[in-house]
Structure 1
């Protein structure tokens, strides 16, 4: 496990690098002569992502920023940096190849097949930018909502209203991600057919590269959808006063797994649990939602026997 301080530093580092790459791309695109609308619009997407990353840096400087230190935050920024590297490589190729021409995008009109491929790459990058921006927004806003909801000084009605609003937002975002995923999968199917039927070697290679990029866009969409689902679950648990969540517990080959309240104090009587997705195979045994009475009894037996640990 990464130490909190080191983890914070790593997030700050990759976020700072991401902001630098945004500024570089923004300037590079702005310097291109006769840039088409499709590429020019990326400047707007880059401009929209930068303040989200700046907000992340600001939040990381707060003393209570530990709530933000999740793999979701780091993963989204790392994935943006990966998308940037891919797109910058394509942009560098276009610029080098266009030095033969009077303007940067002369080849766009002269070679339709390559032009369509380039436009597809641009659209994929725009889609990935939007996914990463949305992922960070969801992670940051949900962290803020949950922090407020845990404050004892805020009355229940206000907390319920805030949590309800966040659930509605997350459901809308998840529905949008689902629609976008359907469109991406449709594009992948159509592109696969085009690759199969394409006879021109160069065009086929371009289409295969575009297929890989769209698959990466699908991965970014799935990352965003997963973030929405996890944020929705956390919001629901806080709303329902569930303080402990246990899921995906498995036992097999005659093993035993225990999940729930184990070796707890009397305060555990007030803890609500959500235990789900349990699985046993091969004669295995699972004990779920252990009772407080059993725990107290086990503690007494352990003290009498001098045992200092739990053996399953």
Structure 2
């Protein structure tokens, strides 16, 4: 089981430089007067990925525990990938505009940016969009985990308390005033709610296990764990993160079956 507080500290440690790098690149883009449309569009992508990275800092430590080490590792890889991409593109942008001092845009640099550098610019937009989608999926899943499970636990506890209190009230009445069918029905409901509460505890415990531990107990899980590892290693961090969050969501669904 991962340590939630240490993961939170690690996430803060990688998101801070990422946000700084994104902000520097945004400033550089905004400083270019009469920049091509492709560069202006890049600014919008940068703002979006900045919001996505910032949202990681708002995830509760307990939610990281639910997600497991597989997802948190991929989050860190994705954020680092985003940081490195921004740093590299910022250096490229400075090189492409070296003939344009003081925020101006010389005809040489305009021609270069308009024709020769469309590929790298679109590639950077793709990197940012992929990172944004992958990070947002983690934030959404983390929020869904806690929100849905917490709501289910609270609802079950409330219903169980109400049934228990009603049974206590009925038990204080004499036999003539008690309705046997109602008592039996309430007792059955109490048993069902108790089992439902136990199931929720098992789901929470299962989510808190490391993904590798969850897979080791089932033959199919072992096979899936191996194939997932091969697939994850072969793809960029953002794609691996999307796959990892998908597997975690599947674990939740499997636990509810």
Counterpart check, 1:75 vs 2:74: no
Residue in structure 1 matched with residue 215 of structure 2 by the alignment: none
2:170 equivalent in structure 1: none
Q: Does 1:20 align with 2:20?
A: yes
- Structure with the larger helix share: 2
How many pairs were matched up? 178
Unaligned runs of 5+ in 1: 160-218, 243-271, 273-312
TM-aligned CA distance change 1:138 to 1:64, over 3 Å? closer
Partner of 1:227: 241
Alpha-carbon deviations, 1:81-129, whole Å to 9, x = none?
1101110110111222434x99425125545xx7433121111111100
The Cα RMSD (Å) is: 3.4
Greater RCO structure (CA 8 Å; 6+ sep): 2
Q: Contact 1:149 / 1:238 at 8 angstroms: preserved in 2?
A: no
Cα distance per residue 1:259-296 (max 9 Å; x no partner): xxxxxxxxxxxxx9xxxxxxxxxxxxxxxxxxxxxxxx
Q: Which residue of 2 aligns with 1:138?
A: 137
Residue of structure 1 in register with 2:88 after alignment: 86
Alignment of 1:162-241 (within 5 A): 222-241=236-255
Within-5 A mapping of 1:1-312: 4-60=4-60, 62=61, 64-67=63-66, 70-99=72-101, 103-108=104-109, 110=111, 115-151=114-150, 152-153=153-154, 222-241=236-255
Q: Counterparts of 1:77 and 1:94 in 2: how far apart (Å)?
A: 26
Confirm or deny: 8 A CA contact 1:128 1:220 kept in the other structure.
no
Q: Distance between the aligned counterparts of 2:155 and 2:38, measured in 1?
A: 47
Task: Quote the offset at 1:153 in angstroms.
Answer: 3.5
Secondary structure of 1:67's aligned partner: helix
How many angstroms apart in 2 are the aligned matches of 1:33 and 1:220? 41
TM-score relative to the length of structure 1: 0.49
User: Which shifted more, 222-231 or 21-30?
Assistant: 222-231
Report the Cα offset of residue 130 of structure 1. Answer: 0.4
Q: How many Å separate the matches in 1 of 2:147 and 2:51? A: 22
Q: Which runs of 5+ in 2 are unaligned?
A: 157-195, 201-232
User: What is the rounded CA distance, in whole Å, between the counterparts of 1:126 and 1:220 in structure 2?
Assistant: 22
CA deviations over 1:168-193 (Å, ceiling 9, x no partner): xxxxxxxxxxxxxxxxxxxxxxxxxx
